Amino acid sequence: MTLAAAASTTSTGEAVQFWILATVAVIGALGTILMRKAVHSALCLAGTMIVLAIFYLANGAYFLGVVQIVVYTGAIMMLFLFVVMLVGVTAADSLKETLKGQRWLAALCGLGFGILLCAGIGNASLKSFNGLGQANSGGNVEGLAALIFTKYVFAFEITGALLITAAVGAMVLTHRERTERALSQREQSERRVRGGKQVPPLPAPGVYARHNAVDIPGLLPDGTPSELTVSATLRGRGQVRDVSGEALADLAALEQRSARWLGRDAKGGKGAKDPKGADRREGGGGADQAGDPGDDPAGAGHPEDSKGVAK
Partner 1 sequence: MNPVNYLYLSALLFTIGAAGVLIRRNAIVLFMCVELMLNACNLAFVTFSRMHGNLDGQIIAFFTMVVAAAEVVVGLAIIVTVFRSRHSASVDDASLMKL
Choices 40-48, 213-221, 280-288, 296-304; region in contact with partner 1 by CB under 8 A: 40-48
Q: Which helix (H) or strand (E) holds 170?
A: helix 153-174
CB of 55 to partner 1, least distance (A): 6
Report 230-249 residues binding partner 1 (CB under 8 A): none
Residues 148, 149, 152, 157: is their CA dihedral positive or negative?
positive
Residue 279 CA to residue 268 CA, distance in Å, equals 19
The only residue of 7, 216, 228, 243 in contact with partner 1, by rule CB under 8 A: 7
Beta-ladder partners of 211: 207
Choices 71-79, 213-221, 222-230, 245-253; region in contact with partner 1 by CB under 8 A: 71-79
Choices 82-90, 210-218, 243-251, 300-308; region in contact with partner 1 by CB under 8 A: 82-90
How many CB atoms are closer than 10 A to CB 272? 9
Look at residue 301 and give its three-state secondary structure: coil
**33 touches partner 1 by CB under 8 A:** yes
Beta-ladder partners of 219: 225
Residue 305 CA to residue 295 CA, distance in Å, equals 7
* Nearer residue to partner 1 within complex by CB, 140 or 306: 140
Report 94-113 residues binding partner 1 (CB under 8 A): 94, 98, 102-103, 106-107, 109-111, 113
The only residue of 2, 90, 127, 182 in contact with partner 1, by rule CB under 8 A: 127
How many CB atoms are closer than 10 A to CB 270? 11
Report 131-190 residues binding partner 1 (CB under 8 A): 131-136, 140, 143-144, 147-148, 151-152, 155, 159, 162-163, 165-167, 169-170, 173-174
- Given a contact cutoff of 8 angstroms between Cβ atoms, the answer to whether 35 and 44 are in contact is yes
